[in-house]
A and B are shown apart, each in its own frame.
Chain A
């Protein structure tokens, strides 16, 4: 008689991963009953007994080990106060004295409308000072796949308070405590003027939105203006650095080198180790990783303002930063940045600079750049010179001379045809030379 099969065995067998086919004795195939429902129910209840037996990880132990307090069953809060001039790498967090009162570049900020369809759109974000009530936010999650099965089990906040900084990290230690955990997070955000994150618009915010939705709680995040630092970092360094991960950014811009960091990718395993076996040490690593993230966020806000004021001084992409200023209506600043860097600009940057000169009517400067580029074989500059002579100086012969050397194509054909026609017409006109 063959043993009654367990669910696990049935599954393994169906998948072909189970023990190999049984050798039949003497060719007889024994009769095996399908496992009865009652039998499987009995086994199920044994299974459940085992959960109860396994020691439930105790939050109190964890709280003590990481220096947190249990503010609700299953919710730990780790709080630290940092001095105003807290060092982080080569800088200190928060705004340095000269930046006090300076406004955060409004072009960096996503107004609430961008990620909340319910909020009226089109309103310009109100100006926010660098030292205003910013709240830096960073989460650690049970996975990167997204979807409703991913948890944000650590949510850390860093905000200025009474001349210093208050750091609070909330840690979910029991799955059935998420409601209280989320309520605490919501109250932590009260009074915030601006949320600061790194890739939060794509990751942390949607994830928390899912959690609030699953818990049936109102989500306070979409109503807040948001500064996702990844965006200005990508703009300034996307074409300069091999990657824009926060760890790279803080090393390059803040001079901060993490030692023995627990990578974010290991956070899921750390949390699972706690949930399953009460392991404490890995979670300590997660919390420290999260703290470093938060400090870097706070330090990056003023540092990036400096980068955008002096991109060359910080080895940033001057052309991209200048283009950004121009798009924000600050053509003068764009011109100043490009002009200062003109010896080191690539042809595209020089063309940008020439365009800015042209816009303010500074034709000689523009022409000088075009001529320099044309001499080096740049087709776009050549086209600009052709236009310049056709429309500006009226020297059609020179315009045509530039146009005939343009790369073949309909644009060249049209320009040459038009110039030839104009020349012909002018030569025929009475009184022409």
Chain B
């Protein structure tokens, strides 16, 4: 097998001179080089023409000092969308600005806010999903404020308010801040439960600015919609009705999302008046290196190569990887090329979640200063953290959504210069589907950001918090559920008392502390470095990713420095690590067992049935693999000893009539292989069609009663496991009724399984087409998951088995030659 990642291997054998001969900007030359040299790998391309600016005059009713401050900063005119935002905001209309990255969205809200402060003594609350963004914006507001003062106006006091704000400074923020920049978590835990201390602020509150609207989706968005319900309740108490100003990256439904968050009609500003440089995009499919197995060169090897070429052309690039682990692996490979001399400042930098804030701040400064040539990151840099201008964005794998893809691509070309984006497909079905149907991606509208604020657990959490903040009155509404019933429940729990027409909080507790907006589960883990005897906290890992990354024996990487986890204190939420020189990394194995609790709905389809309902899920991490760098050989296994993760959630499931299954796939091993392959394909198609990210959904094959489930064993074959994960020869019991589950991967469910159920016939048909149309022989990572070489010799390949299952589910006549059709 070729060894595509070895750094010693010279780059693509293209002499540097050849690259430089091409005319034009380095970005154009890089694109020309890639398209000329690797035609076969380019599955699609697009170019967005340069766009010129549409200017409008500053509004006449702008305060003079503010207008002069803008002129002094070289902004004598506004982009058309900024002017549009001004008019709407001044008319107290809720609005959302959904124009591209770097189009001047900030001014859209800063102008009306500064006007309100300067001319009417109004106040504004700014909310950002992260502390770092709030700090960036505070700095920008201070600059504007100084310019206003220089132009003869009064100053504007802008303060950040977050967990780091010292106790003695908080009072000044509350009583003296014109603009308070915070995050939804602080609003939830510190501001609303103490709203009386903020009375002055609330009484003057004119605008609520919510930037990075697109991040308020899923669980987080559902929580925040409820926090805003509480915020509006508190505002009504102080007799104010502030106007919401949202700013969003591109999503399909900014207006709808904003309306669900703020509970009123929202005007959408989508037409940008900002100029934009020419933007090139290449969809890149790694070359097939083993046509029999359908194995392609790794996306990682292609990513590092393109990043290397770009750096050699003097371009600055950002590389997006889909996991923290991949960020560290790619960083290591690039550092092995560019940062071999420890005396020189590093040219490669990793930036991802889990680093400590101080380390991230330092990285941001380094990036802004233009001191690095290659930034490797996860979704952490999708948000508007200011990192200066970049030329090339390389995406290692499809980020999972069209919206996230454009956000990441938008990181390159922030100035009026041409930019290049390269989206490199991995062997995942989703990626392969995309590069085989480039029109799907290039023509697709971005996804809908969905929230489910009336999810019962989330809603209950916030009714509890709201009741603490202000007593509910009989007949008051809060969300879609019946408030009186929820309040009665809380009364029975001993938290409330009903007296007169009001429900009063009487318990000795502070409910907001028990509710985290970011997850349904609680408690981050800290990673503690014990090398050399000292104990230093070096990273934080959220609860849900802890079992898969911090098990004892795991290699945990930071800036590609490997640490080994020596001890995991699960209850104390601590992982103790030491520095190591391991030449391998680790990857956890997990499996999931499901039990159906209640069936809400069901129907027959084809020779089977589809249903949806509630399930109980147990996830276990039995062990991990050790994988050697560069060769990616599996060099060993280790055991993981962790408590099971339990969850109740919603799911959609498929079953096949046992007689029909037996006639098509009489061999139970084959049937299991077929279900596992079908699950693999369905999971990926569902993520694509339901506009969710792949990890928002989970898949499982079992009997639905928790007595057995199937996994792909270490030898690549479907295996039946019993209650304690022990392999079974055959499923217990008389009936053999394998069930294929797709479940909502959040406790309680966040509304992902409803659309899957509604769309089930189409999903199954899509999955069948994906498997039938794949170019491989027996099955591959692009259709039913990786298969063994020996499987090609089988009478019924895993791919054929999956196809038979999917055809039964579709109701189409089984096609004897199904798997033989060419794609």
Listed in ascending order, the chain A residues whose CB lies under 8 Å from chain B are: 2, 5, 7-8, 10-11, 13-16, 21-22, 24, 27, 29-34, 37, 40-41, 43-44, 47-48, 51, 117, 142-149, 151, 174-176, 206, 209-210, 213-214, 268-269, 271-272, 275-276
Contacts and interface: CB of A to CB of B under 8 A. Distances in A.
B735 interface: yes
Given A7-B485, A33-B600, A143-B509, A16 B196 contact: no
Interface string B618-634: 00000000000000000
B211 interface: no
Given A14-B456, A40-B485, A174-B499, A142 B506 contact: yes
Contact of A29 (B199, B469, B499, B599): B599
A59 B511 CA distance: 29
Contacts of A41: 482, 484-485
Contacts of B44: none
B500 interface: yes
Given A14-B747, A21-B616, A32 B598 contact: yes
A22 B596 CA distance: 9
Q: Which 6 A-B pairs have the closest CB atoms?
A: A143-B508, A149-B468, A47-B488, A44-B485, A145-B510, A176-B500
Contacts of B460: 11
A5 B613 CA distance: 13
A48 B488 contact: yes
A15 B457 contact: yes
B648 to A, nearest CB: 5
26 contacts: A2-B598, A7-B485, A7-B486, A11-B456, A11-B457, A14-B457, A16-B616, A16-B647, A31-B599, A31-B602, A37-B482, A40-B485, A44-B482, A44-B485, A47-B492, A117-B175, A142-B508, A144-B508, A176-B500, A176-B502, A206-B197, A213-B196, A268-B508, A272-B507, A275-B506, A276-B497
Contacts of B747: 14
A363 to B, nearest CB: 41
Contacts of A16: 616, 646-648
Given A13-B597, A29-B611, A51-B491, A146 B510 contact: yes
B16 interface: no
> Which among B195, B488, B502, B509 has the highest number of chain A CB atoms within 10 Å?
B488
B737 interface: yes
A43 B484 CA distance: 10
A21 B600 contact: no
> Which among A31, A48, A147 has the highest number of chain B CB atoms within 10 Å?
A147
B193 interface: yes
A21 to B, nearest CB: 5
B647 A21 contact: no
Given A32-B613, A142-B508, A10 B456 contact: yes
Interface in B520-569: none
Given A44-B488, A148-B468, A214-B196, A14 B598 contact: no
B305 interface: no
Contacts of A31: 599-602
Q: How large is the interface on B (under 10, 10 to 19, 20 to 34, 35 or more residues)?
A: 35 or more
A421 B377 CA distance: 60
Nearest to B483: A44
A44 B596 CA distance: 28
Nearest to B195: A148
B495 to A, nearest CB: 9
B497 A275 contact: yes
B505 interface: yes
Contacts of B500: 175-176
Contacts of B204: none
Contact of B489 (A8, A24, A213): A8
A276 B646 CA distance: 35
A358 to B, nearest CB: 34
Contact of A149 (B457, B505, B598, B647): B505
Contacts of B175: 117
B510 A21 contact: no
A381 B99 CA distance: 69
B207 interface: no
B718 to A, nearest CB: 21
Interface in B465-519: 467-471, 482, 484-486, 488-489, 491-492, 494, 497-500, 502, 504-511, 513
A89 to B, nearest CB: 30
A7 B460 CA distance: 10
B544 to A, nearest CB: 15
A146 B194 contact: yes
Contacts of A37: 482
A51 B199 CA distance: 34
A27 B488 contact: no
A53 to B, nearest CB: 12
B600 A7 contact: no
Contacts of B499: 174-176
B198 to A, nearest CB: 10
Contacts of B505: 149
B470 A148 contact: yes
Contacts of A176: 499-500, 502, 504
Nearest to B465: A149
A154 to B, nearest CB: 14
Contacts of A117: 175
B504 A27 contact: no
A144 B509 CA distance: 8
A7 B489 contact: yes
B595 interface: yes
Interface in B705-760: 705-706, 733, 735, 737, 747-748
Interface in B554-610: 595-602
Given A41-B485, A47-B492, A147-B468, A24 B456 contact: no
Given A11-B456, A16-B647, A275-B497, 10 more contacts: A21-B706, A27-B705, A31-B599, A34-B600, A145-B509, A148-B468, A151-B506, A213-B199, A269-B508, A272-B507
A15 B747 CA distance: 8
Contacts of A34: 600
Nearest to A145: B510
A211 to B, nearest CB: 8
B648 A24 contact: no
Nearest to B192: A148
Contacts of A272: 494, 506-508
A316 B735 CA distance: 84
B506 A14 contact: no
A221 to B, nearest CB: 13
A21 B595 contact: yes
A36 B649 CA distance: 20
Contacts of B748: 14
B294 interface: no
A213 B201 CA distance: 13
B748 to A, nearest CB: 4
Contacts of A13: 597, 614, 648
Contacts of B735: 27
A148 B469 contact: yes
B469 A40 contact: no
Contacts of B597: 13, 21-22
A72 to B, nearest CB: 14
B418 interface: no
Nearest to A207: B196
Given A7-B489, A149-B469, A176-B499, A15 B648 contact: yes
Contacts of A213: 196, 199
A38 to B, nearest CB: 10
B429 interface: no
A274 B373 CA distance: 69
Contacts of B733: 27
A147 B194 contact: yes
Nearest to A210: B196
A27 B732 CA distance: 12
A149 B703 CA distance: 48
Given A27-B737, A148-B196, A209-B196, A32 B507 contact: no
Contact of B497 (A24, A47, A147, A175): A175
